[in-house]
Amino acid sequence: MATVSPWYEQVRRALIVDPLNRDPRETHQNGMRLGKPSSWIFQHAIGGGQADFDQPIGDLSARHRVLLYALFNQKGHVPELIHAFERLVDRPQRMNGATMLDIGCGPFTAGLALGNVVGNEVPFHYFVSVWPSHLEAAGPVGKDRVHVT
């Protein structure tokens, strides 16, 4: 499987894991997040990844739903996409100035994977058709590279 850069783990911790861990509802019990069973979160809060992430559900805001999606699903998707991009991009410099359109993306998931492959020195344009809550969750990581369509 693909190797994830250390910066990705730092970003993941800072933008996803730490905010969830600091939430007052967090119990730190196995199989629970924000006081809810993981199975409920997967089935209802994130709908297996197909939920309407801009709508709150119960006491979970849109932002919390996105963070939970990223916690549950993104960590698996990023390495898969890194592997795909590594097979597609034989020389990262060839992606200089490239345009990527990501339809139905998670919170900057494919952008993180492509950034992992091409590195910080190769700029690319990343256009997304996404839930506004996902774009918000991309925060400072995506602000200079993300264009919403």
The pLDDT tens digits for 91-143 are: 888 888 888 877 766 677 888 898 889 888 888 887 776 666 656 665 555 55
With respect to residue 1, please indicate whether it lies within any of the assigned structural domains: no
pLDDT value of position 143: 52
User: Is residue 73 exposed (0-12), middle (13-18) or buried (19+ Cβ within 10 Å)?
Assistant: middle
With respect to residue 128, please indicate whether it lies within any of the assigned structural domains: yes
Is pLDDT above 60 for 146?
Answer: no
- Average pLDDT score over residue span 27-39: 95
pLDDT band, residue 18 (cuts 50/70/90): very high
Is pLDDT above 70 for 49?
Answer: yes
With respect to residue 99, please indicate whether it lies within any of the assigned structural domains: yes
pLDDT value of position 144: 53
Q: What is the DSSP annotation of the chain?
A: -PPPPHHHHHHHIIIIIHHHHHSTT----TTEETTEEHHHIIIIISGGGTS-TTS-BTTB-HHHHHHHHIIIIIHHHHHHHHHHHHHH-SSGGGGTT-EEEEES--SSHHHHHHHHHH-TTS--EEEEE--HHHHHHHHHHHTTTEEE-
The pLDDT tens digits for 55-66 are: 999 999 999 999
Domain span at residue 34 reads: 6-148
Answer for the pair 60, 68: CB distance below 8 angstroms, yes or no. yes
With respect to residue 136, please indicate whether it lies within any of the assigned structural domains: yes
Answer for the pair 137, 46: CB distance below 8 angstroms, yes or no. no
Cα atoms in the Cβ-side hemisphere of radius 13 Å centred on 1: 10
**Total of domains in the chain:** 1
Which H, E and C letters describe 39-67, residue by residue? HHHHHHHCHHHCCCCCCCECCECHHHHHH
Is pLDDT above 60 for 25?
Answer: yes
